[in-house]
Amino acid sequence: MFRRIVVYSAVLCAALVFSVGCNKKVVKVEANAGPQASASKAPEPSVQALSDSFETVALNAKMKGIFVPIYFKFNDYSLSDVAIASLGKIGSFLQQNPDVRILIEGNADEIGSDEYNMGLGERRARASKEYLVTYGIKGDRLEITSYGKERPAVPNCPVSDDICRGKNRRDEWKALAK
């Protein structure tokens, strides 16, 4: 009898974990504060659901021309010269508009595991945030999240088509409501 209760409880717990784990929701990803001591060991991110205070709003026409996606190489989160030029325009805009808050959305292509791509998207978004902070933008105006491979700009890219997959390795921007 005891064994039957234990097995039944284990099955119920597994079903509960599976059903909860399948929910897709936007998360705010923030790592522990402080600089990374080593490139080989990144801090573990803590994941929190975005609260209602992080409601996104539509970018106006001026902002759409400034907040363009920036792209990354395969399996990389370093900023290219083109990305740095785009971040410079974004930084200038944010300096001139101190009431604007931004959500940086990190994305990855469809190659690799869900967990790996969530981490890679987070590192990409964090790289953009850290650049903007060094540009002089206060960190509390910049939120980050990772969608990993869940929101491809171009879905179902063939593995052999790096140009197609390259469109999915990006940071995108959303304005946040006050």
Domain boundaries, the chain: 25-176
Distance in angstroms (rounded) separating the CA atoms of residues 176 and 99: 10
Strand intervals (E) in the chain? 27-31, 45-49, 56-57, 70-71, 101-107, 142-148, 170-176
Distance in angstroms (rounded) separating the CA atoms of residues 32 and 39: 15
Q: What is the pLDDT of residue 10?
A: 52
164: number of Cβ within 10 Å: 18
| Nearest by Cα to 103 from 137, 55, 44, 135 | 55
pLDDT tens for each residue of 8-31: 455 444 444 444 443 434 444 444
Q: What is the pLDDT of residue 32?
A: 38
Angle between helices 81-96 and 114-135 (to 10 degrees): 60
Which stretches in the chain have pLDDT values below 50? 6-8, 11-52
Q: What is the pLDDT of residue 64?
A: 84
User: Which burial class, exposed, middle or buried, applies to 176 when counting CB atoms under 10 A from its CB (0-12, 13-18, 19+)?
Assistant: middle
Question: Any idea which architecture 25-176 has in CATH?
Answer: 2-Layer Sandwich (3.30)
- Per DSSP, 78 falls in state P
Provide the H-helix boundaries in 58-106: 61-66, 81-96
Q: What is the pLDDT of residue 15?
A: 45
CB 94 within 8 A of CB 141: yes
